[in-house]
Structure 1
Amino acid sequence: MDLAREHGISSQAVRNYERDGVIPAARRTPSGYRAYTEVHAAALRAYLALVAGHGYATAGEIMRAAVRGDLDAALRAVDSSHAQLLRDRETLDAVEATIGVLTAAPTPSPPGRPLTVGDLAHRLGVTPATLRKWERAGILCPARDRAAGQRLYGPDDVRDAELTHLLRRGGYLLEHIATVMRQVRAADGPGPLAASLHTWRQRLATRGHAMLVAAGHLAGYLAATGP
């Protein structure tokens, strides 16, 4: 099948894509064979390019909408994916803007004890409710005093709270800050995270370029099916 050979995939894969609605249904010949046209070829090119840029789930959503003629839904899915890429870039910017704080030595707590929520709130000039909000967002993870049940903030918690305060003053959203903290923990500390920033930005650039390529193929499919 020429349609499959162009992309190095199997004929069954093409039939599966037709079944899943990401390319149009093919007309059948009297003998029962599928008759694919340039419209199907354009749809397959668009779908595979969209997978590279947006991932399987979003690519499927875009192409199913395009195939059924719902252009608004297709473009909305494209817009949503681009917005996610922008949020990922903003998160990376947040990490890069504060990597010096992350790699600095933790700010020491008062000798002999961690800080309570009131102590830390006073230190930062925020309310205890703000610290609890940061905790609910997954940014802070203080220990608890088993007897009294109160939150106890050690040196790392204090550093994370000061970093969060810095980012909030810079206008960053809590979801971005929470992602920064998850990246630090997943990288097993700020040092490995700092070393991974270049690779992280390269991945975002690759994804953005793939989205541009996919946009061209999607436009080609829409032109092939237009009036």
Structure 2
Amino acid sequence: MRPVDLAREHGLSTQAVRNYEDAGILPPAGRTVHGYRVYTPLHAHALRAFLALAPGHGHRTATAIMQAVNRAAVQEALLLIDESHGRLLDDRRTLRAVEAALRDLAPVPQERGDTFIGPLAGRLGVRPATLRKWENAGLVRPRRDPRTGYRIYDPADVRDVRLVHQLRRGGYLLEQIAPLIAQVRAAGGVAPLESALRDWQARLSARGRAMLAGAAGLEAYLGARDL
């Protein structure tokens, strides 16, 4: 098989196929007496496996998985897959935490008393500089002590900080979070956040199904290597 034969099946360029080989995604190709690459059905299995793995695991992890398989380090490849599934599980748990935070958006905040930036940052496991960044982005609006100038976070501020924290963990950018927080502050403004959570859930489900497809593609490649 020529590079173009592999490329055509997937709508790739021949250069992309050569790049995948150079990156270790495909096993080394044979060469003709004139130095041209010669691919086999095994290379076709490898390319299909990589393209199946990438949507669920991401390009970098899919590359590392294929590199490990191609150097006969299958256990390393399986560990990478397990770690990727672990990250998906963490993201699902984060989503549930955000959904719980949304349910806690009661008219009367559950938090009691005011707090300062250091203790609040410590409770969330972030740096005070992160809270200041969120404030500069308009996501949080603590008042200032008129005497000391210290930031004071009331219960509603703490609620907003927790929501921002959870949404950041879910992969949302600050500019995406800003309108959600603004709506949360407004009466009856939770609908946009609920929509974002539905979108987040859909993306996690798509990722999980893509991982299943990737597993099937990799299993087919491993089986071809064993022949």
Equivalent residue of 2:180, what SS?
coil
Cα RMSD for the two superposed structures: 3.3
Of stretches 134-143 and 202-211 in structure 1, the one that deviates more from structure 2 is 134-143
Residue 7, structure 1, aligned to residue 6, structure 2: no
Alpha-carbon distance, 1:93 to partner: 1.1
Q: Give the equivalent residue in structure 2 for 1:64.
A: 67
Equivalent residue of 1:6, what SS?
helix
1:9-24 alignment runs, 5 A limit: 9-24=12-27
Q: Which string of whole-angstrom CA distances, capped at 9 and with x for unpartnered residues, describes residues 88-145 of structure 1?
A: 111111122231223x3363999xxx8345xxxxxxxxxx986452254269665664
Q: Give the equivalent residue in structure 2 for 1:133.
A: 122
Structure 2: distance between partners of 1:181 and 1:69: 34
Q: Give the equivalent residue in structure 2 for 1:159.
A: 159
Structure 1: distance between partners of 2:222 and 2:111: 61
Unmatched tracts of structure 1, length 5 or more? 118-127, 165-174
Structure 2: distance between partners of 1:109 and 1:42: 56
> TM-score scaled to structure 2, two decimals?
0.75
In 2 relative to 1, CA 50–186 (structure 1 residues): closer, same or farther, beyond 3 Å? farther
In 2 relative to 1, CA 106–188 (structure 1 residues): closer, same or farther, beyond 3 Å? farther
Q: Which string of whole-angstrom CA distances, capped at 9 and with x for unpartnered residues, describes residues 23-71 of structure 1?
A: 1110001122211001100000001111111111111111111111111
Q: Give the equivalent residue in structure 2 for 1:207.
A: 207
Across the two proteins, how many residue pairs are aligned to each other? 202
> TM-score scaled to structure 1, two decimals?
0.75
Q: Give the equivalent residue in structure 2 for 1:86.
A: 89
Identical counterparts, % of pairs: 45
Q: Give the equivalent residue in structure 1 for 2:135.
A: none
Q: Give the equivalent residue in structure 1 for 2:180.
A: 188
Of stretches 66-75 and 135-144 in structure 1, the one that deviates more from structure 2 is 135-144
In 2 relative to 1, CA 177–68 (structure 1 residues): closer, same or farther, beyond 3 Å? same
Structure 2: distance between partners of 1:176 and 1:109: 17
